Amino acid sequence: MEYRRLGRTGLRVSELCLGTMQFGWTADEGSSHEVLTAAFDAGINFLDTADVYSRWAEGNPGGVAEQIIGRWLKQSASRRDQIVLATKVRGAMGEGPNDQGLSRRHVLMACEASLRRLGVEVIDLYQLHSVDPDTPIEETLDALHDLVRRGYVRYIGCSNFPAWKVMQALWAAEVHGWTSFVSLQPHYNLILRAEYERELEAVALEYGLGVLPYSPLAGGFLTGKYRPDTPIPADSRGAKSKRIQAYLESGKGRSVLEKVEEIAAKRGLTASQVSLAWLLARPSVTSPIIGPRNLSQLKDNLASVSARLEGEEVTTLDAASSWND
């Protein structure tokens, strides 16, 4: 495992980030702890979660993934000192009108709640999960700056922000002397490139932002588990995801997967490893967020860090997945 600077900070994070959206959803606490321990032992020092994980699961009130991580951290005093812990705020954590969003009130209360669930005194990277059109960015940044000054948060970042909104936030922070974003989380993979590359990539490179792509395997499509000529299993994520179904129906999606699998076969790799290796080779990417729900998936993902692609292989994948046709 190698370590990369998070943007222009001096903080070093593993080249793979362990995402925890599956914790308390498709992975129970025992399985989640197994994945956390194996990832940590393999050199992953970067964990990403969110307060809403996994509120969409039946009977899950949200905050469960944070609680699972908190109980894992308590098993060993040394873990917290070595882990870079990231979480997010924005989503609904209750039914009240102020139980969501990026207002000063919700941001401060949500941070305190995340600290309690995680069982820690400080969050390393606190991220805005998505834009809140009802709250001025100045109000949100002022609240985040206060959290940093109080010692509750070390760095701040954003997720699912369009380029213009990132620029607005960077400008406001500079004008007011507030803490500024050091990272962003885009939805980015071999299938979905334009959303990030059209504008966000230039912003990340120009302003030195760390880039943490989520859904690097396109919801499982880039693992090869869904086949154009095979019905989608009724109990799979693909059966409920219109996005994955669209990938299957798209000629381009099938073409990208075909090239990925060709390279994988020649190199003795899996499709997942090739797809992650492509992201790791992108000049602006810091640490793709993997989301294994079991040890087998984690082991497969970990092997991507040694699967360095050749220039010709990268060119082939770039051409197959190009959005600039």
Exposed/middle/buried for residue 122 (C-beta within 10 Å: 0-12, 13-18, 19+)? middle
Q: What is the pLDDT of residues 11-60, one digit of tens each?
A: 999 999 999 999 999 999 999 999 999 999 999 999 999 999 988 887 78
pTM for the structure as a whole = 0.95
Confidence of residue 93 (pLDDT cuts 50, 70, 90): very high
CA distance 259 to 190: 11
Q: What is the pLDDT of residues 217-271, one digit of tens each?
A: 999 999 988 777 777 776 666 666 777 777 777 778 889 999 999 999 999 999 9
Neighbours of 64 (CB within 10 A): 24
Torsions phi, psi for 186 (to 5 deg): -100, 155
Question: What is the DSSP code (8-state) at residue 303?
Answer: G
Q: Which residue has the tokens 């606490």?
A: 29
Which pLDDT score is estimated for 238? Answer: 65
Residue type, 16: L
Domains parsed from the chain with CATH numbers: 3-185 (3.20.20.100)
Q: What is the pLDDT of residues 158-172, one digit of tens each?
A: 999 999 999 999 999
Which pLDDT score is estimated for 246? Answer: 76
pLDDT over 70, % of the chain: 97
Say if CB 260 and CB 317 are below 8 A apart: yes
Q: What is the pLDDT of residues 184-195, one digit of tens each?
A: 999 999 999 999
- Residue 7 host element (H or E): none
Confidence of residue 61 (pLDDT cuts 50, 70, 90): confident
CA distance 49 to 17: 10
Catalytic residues: 53
Say if CB 179 and CB 145 are below 8 A apart: yes
